[in-house]
Amino acid sequence: MSNITAKINTPYYMCEEALLRKNLELLDFVQKESGAKIILALKGFAMWGTFPLVRQYLVGCTSSGLHEALLAREEFAQDNRELEVHTYSPAYKDEDIDEIARISNHIVFNSPNQLFNYAQRVKTINQNVSLSLRINPEQSSSPKDIYNPCGIYSRLGTTLANFDEGVLEHIEGLNFHALCEQDADALEEVLAAFEEKFGKYIKDMKYINFGGGHHITREGYDVERLIKIIKDFRAKYGVDVYLEPGEAVGWQTGVLVSRVLDIVHNGMDIAILDTSAEAHMPDTLAMPYRAMVRGSGEAGEKRYTYRFGGNTCLAGDIMGDYSFDEPLRVGDLVIFEDQIHYTFVKNTTFNGIKLPSLVIKRENGEMEVLREFGYLDYKNRLS
Ligand SMILES: *Cc1c(COP(=O)(O)O)cnc(C)c1O
């Protein structure tokens, strides 16, 4: 716990820039070796206080609509470099599309219908904008249905059966996004399906966007295989390749620090923390997965076992069971590992509980509290 200071009020997320740079360096290695361009998917990681670091490596962002695109424009841009803002939405709204056209370099449509509706209009507003269609390769080995964009009845992307060759005169690229926390072999399977279904269109494109879900920065990921896949693909078709990972950027770059508020007993020892699985670590319930806690073991593995619960009134607001060598005490810090991706971007003020602060540990060791939240963040979302 050496780098966790007791001075900052819990709960807080702490992103370590040294760890973030390590990820970015690996991603940059992939860019340089493969010739692909990598952009950040804001959906998974949007701590914009780190963007001055992130933009040293990545050429831009992919956004899921107007608000993320605005954030990319405002916070990722840098005077002396061309920033790429790619925007993809499952469906665009009439009142958003003009502004999206003004601030995006690429606009990706989900269906031929939306593309036909808006192609002319966005080109009139911004003649430099490049249009693309997201297709559904109908091949994914995504581990969970909730995270499988190619699952049965998926609304995400156009299947071959729904592809309309009329789109070809408007688009310069095709996108797919079919992976979730997966290795390069899964990409190979998706690419094979993509080429089988849409191969005849690829040569007419300027770029193909391979989406996100590439778990590049996870230990053991087959980086060399990814590089080879991209190089072979670029050589075969003469197109640019984009990757747009979110999770791989924020992967293992920091923690959620919380505190034990009380310990109660009901068949077992239960520690109530000043954070929440429901509000602050939602994927632990949705995925679901068990977040690692620093210094802990599985239930029963070490001498003292506790169930960790959140400080909301939701019965199921439970992080899991953890064991420790020493008994926990009220006031102890509890540190959840790897809580920087898909956490604060999904936070809610459910039950009025305080949002965790956002903290960066700079590379010189300084801790900077970027933002603290309070009552008004709760009130202003209600009326
Ligand atoms: C979520 C998403 C990403 C990023 O996925 P990660 O799993 O975080 O890498 C990229 N592209 C699209 C279209 C997405 O929906």
pLDDT interval class at 315 (50, 70, 90): very high
Atom of ligand 1 nearest to the CA of 181: 7
pLDDT for the residue numbered 1:
43
Q: Does the CB atom of residue 43 touch ligand 1 within 6 A?
A: yes
8-state DSSP, 356: P
pLDDT > 90: what percent of the chain?
A: 93
pLDDT interval class at 145 (50, 70, 90): confident
Q: What does the alpha-carbon distance between residue 52 and residue 48 come to, in Å, rounded to a whole number?
A: 8
Which residue, judged by its Cα, is nearest atom 15 of ligand 1?
A: 177
Rounded to the nearest angstrom, the distance between the alpha carbon of 208 and the centre of ligand 1 is 15
Per the rule left: phi > 0, alpha: psi between -120 and 50, beta: everything else, 187 is alpha
Using alpha carbons, select from 305, 308, 367 the residue that is nearest to residue 335: 308
Average per-residue pLDDT for the chain: 96
Rounded to the nearest angstrom, the distance between the alpha carbon of 223 and the centre of ligand 1 is 18
Which residue, judged by its Cα, is nearest atom 2 of ligand 1?
A: 212
35-250 and 254-339+347-379, same CATH topology: no
| CATH number for the domain whose boundaries are 254-339+347-379 | 2.40.37.10
Contacts of residue 175, Cβ cutoff 8 Å, sequence gap at least 6: 88, 108, 132, 133, 134, 135, 157, 208, 209, 211
Q: Does the CB atom of residue 211 touch ligand 1 within 6 A?
A: yes
Rounded to the nearest angstrom, the distance between the alpha carbon of 175 and the centre of ligand 1 is 11
229 φ, ψ (degrees, to nearest 5): -60, -45
pLDDT for the residue numbered 15:
98
The domain limits of the chain are: 35-250, 254-339+347-379
Atom of ligand 1 nearest to the CA of 179: 7
Residue 78, pLDDT above cutoff 80: no
pLDDT for the residue numbered 119:
98
CATH topology of domain 35-250: TIM Barrel (3.20.20)
pLDDT for the residue numbered 161:
97
Other Cβ atoms less than 10 A from the Cβ of 309: the count is: 21
pLDDT interval class at 147 (50, 70, 90): confident
Residue 141, pLDDT above cutoff 90: no
Residue 262, pLDDT above cutoff 70: yes
- 344: helix, coil or strand? helix
pLDDT for the residue numbered 4:
67
Q: Does the CB atom of residue 215 touch ligand 1 within 6 A?
A: no
Residue 124, pLDDT above cutoff 80: yes
Output the six-digit token pair for 345: 């971007």
